[in-house]
Structure 1
Amino acid sequence: MNAYLPNNTWPLSMVVAILAFATITGYFVAQMPSLRVSRWTAWSMVVYGVILAEQTTGQQPAGFRMLAIIAVLLLTMKVVVTTEVYHANKGKLTFWQWLSFACLWVGMRPAIFRNVPGPPRTEVGAYMWRGFKNIAIGIFLALSARYLWLAFTDGPTTIRRILPTILLLPGISLILHFGIFNLLTAWWRWMGAQCDTIFREPLQSISLVEFWGRRWNLAFSEMTTLAVHRPLRGTWGHTTATLMSFTFSGLLHELAISLPVRAGFGGPMLYFLVHGIGMSLETRWSTLSTLIQRHPHLGRLWTFLWIVLPLPILFHRPFLAGCVWPLVGLDY
């Protein structure tokens, strides 16, 4: 876990200061009367915020750098999407509602916090159960990954790396994406927010369109829709706007995955460009679209292969070594 601990308190203090400044400033930036000025200011906050976070944590361990960059990126992108929502006349948040949305929720729809605090919503207990259950399964997989690493001390290096990683990556996802995020959903539903789970049974997807648009990380799809796709669609058309959205997704993953370890650049971008092409194939090739709709089992296989086979270029070795393996004490 040393990969996630700063060498001293100074960089941590600076990151907290950046986040605090962005939170307070972002509340007012989104309400600027001019969409053009508000939009450019919000995007400038993203760019300069990431630069400051990267420079501030330049000499820190990769895990801490990753958390700092992601936190600043997530917060400043909330300013961008809130700007778009406000100027579409879809309602505004009070300052305390904005703080709740910006700092304590991972989704990208500010409107769901307009009724917070409010009467509790349904399924709070179900989300809590799902969250704790997935955290328990994720911990089991993470511990199993460490056990395999210790058990294969004298095994081939490649096998010793691959087998624990196959367990560790889904373990982390279950703990965070399907565990902690579901607990957050339960909390905010109890507080009256109209929020739902961010990850909706992705293994049931029969197409890339369904996987990326309706099941996997809806916060990310909401963000790219509001910040990139919708502003560009009217001028450049749906197909180009979709490809630009995936290019933007690739860029964000470069910042979150490659930049913290300062290696592996290009892999995450290629992964998302490939998926942008795959989605274009599904929407433009009617024969393929009909086939996967009529035969869901083929659609699930199609989607699974597209997601899993290129994963090594997304989660490249420098990232695994710097940010993933240290979580359970794997030292390669």
Structure 2
Amino acid sequence: MSTSRNPPPPWHGWLALGLLPIAVLVVAPATWPRWALMWVLSIALFAGCKWLTWRRRRVIDAPGWLHVAYLFAWPGLDADGFLRSRPGFARHAVPRREWVGAGVKAALGIALFWGAPRLLPADHPLAVGWLGMIGFIFIAHVGLFHLLSCAWRTAGVNARPLMLRPLASQSLAEFWGRRWNTAFRDLTHRFLFRPLTTRFGPRTALVVGFVFSGLVHDLVISVPAGGGYGGPTLYFLLQALAMMLERSRRGRRAGLGAGWRGRGFTVLVLAVPV
């Protein structure tokens, strides 16, 4: 059994999340290519998120190497779940088909990222960009991170996959809440949604959580690109409003949260605004 400590004050851990991106923007040379600034900002934000979740952890008796592994060898953001593990004692048998599936997804991502764009005409940069972005998501989030999850779970560490078959979602709530990028979902649910729900109610908490996601994407996409400001934030605000419609009486009556109607509504809201 893991020993837990009392929860630290609510403000603990947030400073790094705010200061690291600011430091990057102040220090980064103006001559840097836009993609380099995007990557460094992304790493700074991720490091801030990691520090926040680790600083606010409740588990105190995990071995030191497991703390290091959480900080540097796992992209998830559920510190307590990871650190409560007992490697070597409770090993999990990961099915071979899951290993193979993760490897196939990574290989598909490599093909999309490096192979498919070469088959397109050079005068279609938008299509090339989309293929590259989808390919990278398959390589990292869907493929390599899943393989890493398999490896950690085989060793007895609680490292849930970060992508849980998002294409199977039958509602926006299911997509954003249980299937897509569960690392960021864990972060926003613990540090934004739950405390804000207690104080202001679930609707306000939902909107604030999605606006926060939009601002993060604005920082790592719009700022390096030097344009499109507010676009990501507007997109995520639309997701929040659509989710409230989905959960409303009219939305439930129309079947927007389940079945083929829910799946169609989910695809419509996710894809059309892009």
Give the deviation of 1:290 after TM superposition: 4.0
Runs of 4+ in 1 over 4 A off after TM superposition: none
Structure 2: distance between partners of 1:91 and 1:231: 23
Provide Cα deviations, 1:2-58, integer angstroms capped at 9, x if missing partner. xxxxxxxxxxxxxxxxxxxxxxxxxxxxx8x7833xx43411111111111232333
Give the deviation of 1:186 after TM superposition: 1.5
Provide Cα deviations, 1:188-242, integer angstroms capped at 9, x if missing partner. 1122112221111111111111110011111111110111111211111111111
Q: TM-score, normalised by structure 1?
A: 0.73
Seen in structure 2, the aligned counterparts of structure 1 residues 43 and 294 have a Cα distance that, compared at 3 Å, is closer
Structure 2: distance between partners of 1:211 and 1:222: 14
Structure 2: distance between partners of 1:304 and 1:104: 33
- Return 5+ residue gaps in structure 2 as ranges: none
Q: Which residue of 2 aligns with 1:101?
A: 70
SS, match of residue 40 in structure 1: coil
8 A Cα contact 1:134 1:178, kept in partner: yes
Structure with greater helix share of residues: 1
- Of the three residues 183, 196, 199, the one matched with 1:219 is 183
Q: Which residue of 1 aligns with 2:261?
A: 298
Q: Which residue of 2 aligns with 1:43?
A: 14
Pairing 1:244-323 to 2, within 5 Å after superposition: 244-283=208-247, 285-292=248-255, 296-311=259-274
- Of the three residues 46, 49, 62, the one matched with 1:77 is 49
Give the deviation of 1:64 after TM superposition: 2.2
Seen in structure 2, the aligned counterparts of structure 1 residues 130 and 41 have a Cα distance that, compared at 3 Å, is same
8 A Cα contact 2:86 2:156, kept in partner: yes
Q: Which residue of 2 aligns with 1:230?
A: 194
Seen in structure 2, the aligned counterparts of structure 1 residues 79 and 93 have a Cα distance that, compared at 3 Å, is farther
1:114 aligns with 2:78: no
Give % identity: 29
Structure 2: distance between partners of 1:54 and 1:166: 26
Seen in structure 2, the aligned counterparts of structure 1 residues 216 and 301 have a Cα distance that, compared at 3 Å, is same
Seen in structure 2, the aligned counterparts of structure 1 residues 295 and 278 have a Cα distance that, compared at 3 Å, is closer
Q: Which residue of 2 aligns with 1:179?
A: 143
Q: With CA pairs under 8 Å and 6+ residues apart, which has the higher RCO, 1 or 2? A: 1
Aligned length: 266
SS, match of residue 78 in structure 1: helix
Structure 1: distance between partners of 2:116 and 2:101: 21
Give the deviation of 1:179 after TM superposition: 0.7
Provide Cα deviations, 1:236-283, integer angstroms capped at 9, x if missing partner. 111111111111111111122222333322111111111111111112
8 A Cα contact 1:124 1:189, kept in partner: no
State the AA in 2 paired with 1:35: P
Give the deviation of 1:91 after TM superposition: 5.5
Pairing 1:122-161 to 2, within 5 Å after superposition: 122-123=93-94, 125-142=96-113, 143-148=115-120, 152-153=121-122, 157=123, 160-161=124-125
8 A Cα contact 1:115 1:192, kept in partner: yes
SS, match of residue 93 in structure 2: coil
- Of the three residues 153, 177, 201, the one matched with 1:189 is 153
State the AA in 1 paired with 2:88: G
State the AA in 1 paired with 2:242: G
Seen in structure 2, the aligned counterparts of structure 1 residues 278 and 63 have a Cα distance that, compared at 3 Å, is same
- Return 5+ residue gaps in structure 1 as ranges: 1-30, 312-332
What do you get for the CA RMSD once the two structures are aligned? Answer: 2.3
Structure 1: distance between partners of 2:154 and 2:179: 23
SS, match of residue 272 in structure 1: helix
1:55 aligns with 2:26: yes
- Of the three residues 229, 243, 249, the one matched with 2:207 is 243
